Amino acid sequence: MLITGGSGFLGSALVDLARTQGWNVVATYHSRRPQTQGVRWEALDLRDRAATRALVERYEPDVVIHTAYRQEGPHMAAITADGAGAVAQGAYVAQARLIHLSSDVVFDGERDGRYSEADTPQPVTAYGAAKAAAERLVVAAHPAALIVRTSLIYGGPDRPGRHERFVLDVIDGRAEAIFFNDELRCPIEVSDLASALLELAALDYKGILHVAGPDVVSRYEFACMVARAFGRDPARVRGGPSPAAPRRPRNCALDSRLAQSMLATRIRGVRDVLG
């Protein structure tokens, strides 16, 4: 199994779980080589499309799970969109099962209810546009790929991710922010997502699949739950509406019933995990 972005939050969870399940794991990193033993680590710059394709083809993996991305900055499109296309090209040549991680922010967030796999992406942010472009490039290069759209990935008190750390930074005075009470997401715990992805690796389902948590919560509600889970006072969390500009997707709730019907993995709601 080849896991891109193996040094990241989701990638490292996938590396750990795949090893326990008996996979021979090759994982990539960008700048800092992780110290995890029993893994073949490869440095990879997704901006170098030829090197990206060559790496995938060289290992001839059975499965590729592409988690690497860049959320902002001048190289975001080259890494998040074009890099994903290069990974898909290499996976196609290697005849590998490809799972590509995408995002709920490919939608504009202006509808009522939840988005299904049949809804058309209409991104309103640069990152959302890069993720939507990545989906198109992946499908064009590897028609049998599985594109998994997910939401906010968190880890809880035992394995906090960047979303929890940011909430704590704000509460503890290291950063300043207002958490939006009109921006809705479906947070998913990182080990639940990793387990679901490894289960999907063994299936032949292709196309688009939504894999997110069952609970729809606002950014503000999520921040309050993080505060309580980490022993902070939720009264210190400031909430308010999202700004009119720059425009942000508000309701990005995903309908994950199709994934739930085919997975043995139980995707827990954030209220169950964080309380």
Q: Which residues pair with 4 in a beta bridge?
A: 66
Give the integer Cα–Cα distance in Å for 258 and 244. 33
CA distances from 192 to 107, 187, 260, 265 (A): 23, 11, 12, 7
Q: Which of 29, 115, 127, 154 is catalytic?
A: 127
Residue that the structure tokens 């992406």 belong to: 121
Residue 127 a catalytic site member: yes
Helix (H, G, I), strand (E, B) or coil at 126: helix
- As a whole number of angstroms, the longest Cα–Cα distance in the chain is 54
Q: Which helix (DSSP H) or strand (DSSP E) does residue 274 occupy? A: helix 270-274
Helix (H, G, I), strand (E, B) or coil at 33: coil
Give the integer Cα–Cα distance in Å for 230 and 156. 8
Tokens coding 164: 């929890």
Task: Give the list of residues 6+ apart from residue 39 with CB closer than 8 angstroms, or none.
Answer: 6, 15, 19, 25, 26, 27
Sign, CA torsion 76/62/136/253: negative
Helix (H, G, I), strand (E, B) or coil at 206: coil
Tokens coding 263: 């997975």
Give the integer Cα–Cα distance in Å for 77 and 69. 9
Burial class (CB in 10 A: 0-12, 13-18, 19+), 198: buried
Which residue numbers are catalytic? 127
